[in-house]
Chain A
Amino acid sequence: MRNKTPLILCGLIASPAMAAGLELNIEIPKIDIAEYHRPYVAAWVEREDKSVAAQLALWYQDKAKPGQMVKPGEGGEKWLPDLRQWWRRVGQQTTLPLDGVSGATRVPGRYKVEPVASKLPAGQYKLVVEAAREDGGREVLNIPFVWPPKVNETLSAKGATELGALTLLLKP
């Protein structure tokens, strides 16, 4: 999963074999503090009315740490409402784990979210990435886009606190 390819190359290596779709790169920044917890991260595609068209990623602690007992309703799922926008838009109705979307929390680095072959109807959308960290902050980034794109497009956004660089590759 971990993608150390420099971002500039990401756009270039889009192989012709790759089907139409969205590819998302999320950077989790290194934060130099004594007690660091990996952030919870959610990524999804929103329609103009803010309803959710597709969930792309949900990184959270879905299992007990070794030696920990998890009671029903506790464990890592307890903190999912801290991803406030995700919880509001789709999380509270979502049965977990989500196949192909749920995953463990990640250490700082750059990650490629597996390309999503898009069945989105043509229209205006917004990519939303939200991160929340225990004992830390919360950040939400948006990248508006039009689907389908005419040519390969690379859109980006940059976080200030809990998220680093985001890039969204759109393939017609």
Chain B
Amino acid sequence: MIRNFFFAVPALALPLAAQAHTAWLLPSATVLPAKAWVTVDAGISSDAFIANHNPLRLDGLVITAPDGSLAQPENALTGKFRSTFDVNLALPGTYRMTVINSGLNASYEVNGERKRWRGKAENLAKEIPADAAKLEVGETLGRVETFVTDGPKNVEALKPVGKGLELVPVTHPTDLFVGETATFRLLLDGAPAAQQKLSVVRGGMRYRNQQNEIEATTDASGAFSITWPETGPWLLSASASDDKVSAKPATQRRLTYTASFEVLPQ
């Protein structure tokens, strides 16, 4: 097997052409009364929360309940453009819902023909021909999140797991109101993600002409602040890359984080 451990940056752009499409979770509400249910849509599209491209598969869905235990989705379904699931919010407090995407991306050539592969590290040797040329392998680790509170909000479920890009609250993520400034922190492998670029964009792009996204950069503690100019669902996206791979033969690691928030009127 010929393996190219030099992961060329232009080639990296190829498997990530899909980056123009962002994954999102859209809960039916983020602030709910006691013992409520919530239903969540999950998609991948260019414009936040507009289901017109691909569903977000729910294989990597992890729902953390307000006491830190795991909750199970119900009525999960993957349709043409979006997946959907319900959650019975049986415990009072804040739930974190995360779809974790992790694995390897590879590109290679067989008989001069360029091929792509995506999968788990343990399957790479089985699924990519041993005579593949120009093999380039990258690792991806992405978290797609949203937060929902049933009754009184709390932060037990929002503890960082310490892997990849993550958000930890300073302002509670289900207590967001127009005109107010919310502060959060981004972590990378559990440590402050300093000087990390990110953006937030409001949903409903079909009903306006400009994205009007807001860009921000974290400070040395990973903190950043957003003053919400409008109500609605908002999608935060951040991405980074480094060489701290967890699985060989990957040489580069691509990290993504997206979170959806709901900003309410005063």
Contacts and interface: CB of A to CB of B under 8 A. Distances in A.
Interface of A: 72-73, 77-81, 84-85, 87-88, 92-93, 138, 140
Contacts of A78: 33, 36
Interface stretch (B1-9, B130-138, B146-154, B159-167): B146-154
B36 A73 contact: yes
A84 B34 contact: no
Given A73-B36, A78-B36, A140 B266 contact: yes
Contacts of A93: 152
B264 A92 contact: no
B35 interface: yes
Given A84-B264, A92-B151, A73 B34 contact: yes
B266 A81 contact: no
B265 interface: yes
B265 A77 contact: no
Contacts of A80: 33
Interface residues of B, number: 16
B32 interface: yes
A45 B264 CA distance: 22
B34 to A, nearest CB: 6
Contacts of A140: 266
A73 B33 contact: yes
A93 B36 CA distance: 15
B51 interface: no
Nearest to B153: A92
A77 to B, nearest CB: 6
Interface in B222-266: 264-266
B265 A92 contact: no
B46 to A, nearest CB: 31
Nearest to A76: B33
A79 B153 CA distance: 17
B32 A72 contact: no
